[in-house]
Amino acid sequence: MSKGFIFDLDGVIVDTAKYHYEAWKSLAQQFGYDFTPQDNEHFKGVSRVKSLELLLEMAQYKATPEQKDRWLSEKNTAYLALISHMNDKEILPGIPQILDLLQRQGNLIALGSASKNAEPILEKVGLLSYFNTLVDGNSVSKAKPDPEVFLKAAQQLGLPPEDCVVLEDAKAGVAAAKAAGMQCIGVGDATILKLADYCFETTAAIPLSLIKELSQ
């Protein structure tokens, strides 16, 4: 039986981290915190609600539930404005070739992302039609490193977890893939993504020969 491939979105298919950064930075200004690119590293793969909690902790700001709700909504409005112009030029290198290969070979393809904006982003960059199923921040209750997102994707593909391969850029995402009993290709720093079975600095460096090998 051929394998299923489950892709994380931000940091694997597209680089939306820069837009999340800008949106969090302008929000943080409201309570006088200078949000840095280093701070943003801790937000990768982390849900929107958890990200706001982290930001408030960094700023040592005690917010009311009403403020939190308002800021979550403001952050997302700013983020949606920033991603509104996204197009296929923002697809990370090598990803279209991997998706083409998998589709030609008849492998099943899923999305496993923490983002609640995943579907419109895939649509904007023109990749939505490659995906047999999507599991995103709207359909899971437990965030990565919990394996829920990937187990649900495997279930929706009709495959056992051991027949699925995950592509992930976040430490928590790699941990989630391994906790799900799946093979994992990490994208990023191998000293951080230690649990990944394979690790490449960038998506461009993932060899198609490895995808072929893992897809049988």
Give the number of other Cβ atoms within 10 Å of residue 32's Cβ: 8
Query: Closest CB to ligand B16 among 38 and 209?
Result: 38
Among 5, 27, 28, 48, binds ligand B16 (CB under 6 A): 48
Minimal distance, residue 26 CB to Mg ion, in Å: 22
Stretch that binds ligand B16, among 109-117, 153-161, 180-188, 200-208 (CB under 6 A): 109-117
* Catalytic-residue membership of 8: yes
**Closest CA relative to residue 170, chosen from 161, 162, 178:** 178
* Catalytic-residue membership of 15: no
Residue 20 binding partner per list ligand B16, Mg ion, none, with a CB distance cut-off of 5 to 8 Å that depends on partner kind? ligand B16
Sign of the alpha-carbon torsion through 83, 192, 99, 182: negative
Residue 47 binding partner per list Mg ion, ligand B16, none, with a CB distance cut-off of 5 to 8 Å that depends on partner kind? ligand B16
Minimal distance, residue 169 CB to Mg ion, in Å: 4
Asked if 97 contacts 208 with a C-beta cutoff of 8 angstroms, the reply is yes
Query: Closest CB to ligand B16 among 10 and 148?
Result: 10
Query: Closest CB to Mg ion among 7 and 130?
Result: 7
Contacts 24+ apart (CB under 8 A), 156-161: 156/110, 156/132, 157/4, 157/6, 157/108, 157/110, 157/132, 157/133, 158/108, 159/1, 159/3, 159/4, 159/108
Question: Residue 182 corresponds to which tokens in the numbers above?
Answer: 């799946």
Among 45, 94, 147, 186, binds Mg ion (CB under 5 A): 45
**Closest CA relative to residue 123, chosen from 12, 20, 13, 11:** 13
Residues binding ligand B16 (CB under 6 A): 8-11, 20, 43-48, 51, 76, 113-117, 137, 170
Active-site residue list: 8, 10
